[in-house]
Chains A and B, each alone.
Chain A
Amino acid sequence: MDGFISVNYVQICTIFLAAVVHASLQLGLGTLLLLYHASLGKHIRKKTKILVTNYIFGAGFLIALIVSAFAFLISTTNRGSLSPEMLGIAVSIMLVLAIIIWFFYYKTRRSTELWLPKAVSRYITNRAKLTESNTESFALGMLTALAEMPFSAILMVVAGNAILALPEVIRIVAFLAYVVIAILPLFVLRFFIRHGRTVVDVQKWRVKNKNFLKIMSGIGFMTLAIFIIAFRLIGE
């Protein structure tokens, strides 16, 4: 029973940590802010609320799809879990990403412009401005989840691997928990905007706290890497 609990504890912590690090990434939040900005200037509040909801569901849907795809890939090609060598590579990638986040995640010091190529950020910004229908906002959510992949892919691989190691009974709960935690900042933003904060308040907060968020994201990646080294690579 103790072995059962400790193995599940490691997997659950891995999933939770990966989800929290995923939630700390800023592209989805920034794009949602752009969507709010564009929509509040054109539509009534009710329509904006529906567009935002669809955006959040789009992001969550794609994250769910990618995590399950990685889990399926791992289960069919790696005999149910990643080998220690593959986990070692995953850990190395996470350590590199931690350093990249600390030094290259934001382009300039005075704004929250991200690492994205200018053409991509312009494209996403224009899509957010032109979003009129629920389908478009759902697709925009999916697009930003996809655009974040250079940083989030490894988190979803590790989470997918950890989900597979859980008993079948709690796999679906762990899977849903990952998705919900990863998109939690979007719900939080929605809550604050609906309760009186303006897009300016949120953007100023993002600019003011971006160094803190960047450091925490990097620490998150390193913590997850060290956790996997300690409990999966050395521990086993």
Chain B
Amino acid sequence: MSVAKLSKKKIHEDIKREAKVLGIHPGTAEIIADKVTEKIMNWSKKRSMITEDDLNERLVKELEKYNKDLAYLFESKGKVI
């Protein structure tokens, strides 16, 4: 269990990159990334320490509201092989 280094830019870029994998329109990906990143940053302010698993879980939860496949990509990280 490792502590996550929160970076707004990194989360934003990660979401956009995964959206590109699924062929989501860049404009739509930008909107989803903006909204989800903002929610994650707000959520993180209430916590003193966040692990990678916590962050990923929260990302999946927020992304599910916009695109289930995008959320699944984050959910299956490190679980393919």
Contacts and interface: CB of A to CB of B under 8 A. Distances in A.
22 contacts: A26-B81, A30-B81, A31-B81, A34-B81, A41-B17, A41-B18, A41-B20, A111-B76, A112-B79, A112-B80, A113-B78, A113-B81, A114-B81, A121-B81, A125-B80, A125-B81, A198-B69, A199-B21, A200-B22, A203-B72, A203-B76, A204-B72
Interface string A8-23: 0000000000000000
A40 B81 contact: no
Contacts, number: 53
Interface of B: 17-18, 20-23, 69, 72-73, 76, 78-81
Contacts of A34: 80-81
A40 B80 CA distance: 16
B73 to A, nearest CB: 6
A34 B20 CA distance: 15
B80 A200 contact: no
Interface residues of A, number: 26
Nearest to A144: B81
B80 A33 contact: yes
Interface of A: 26-27, 30-31, 33-34, 37, 40-42, 108, 110-114, 116, 121-122, 124-125, 198-200, 203-204
A42 B17 contact: yes
A112 B23 CA distance: 24
Contact of A124 (B21, B69, B81): B81
Nearest to B75: A111
Contacts of A122: 78
Contacts of A33: 80
Given A108-B79, A110-B79, A111-B76, 11 more contacts: A30-B80, A37-B21, A37-B73, A42-B17, A113-B78, A125-B80, A200-B72, A200-B73, A203-B72, A203-B76, A203-B80
A82 B76 CA distance: 44
Nearest to B22: A198
B10 to A, nearest CB: 14
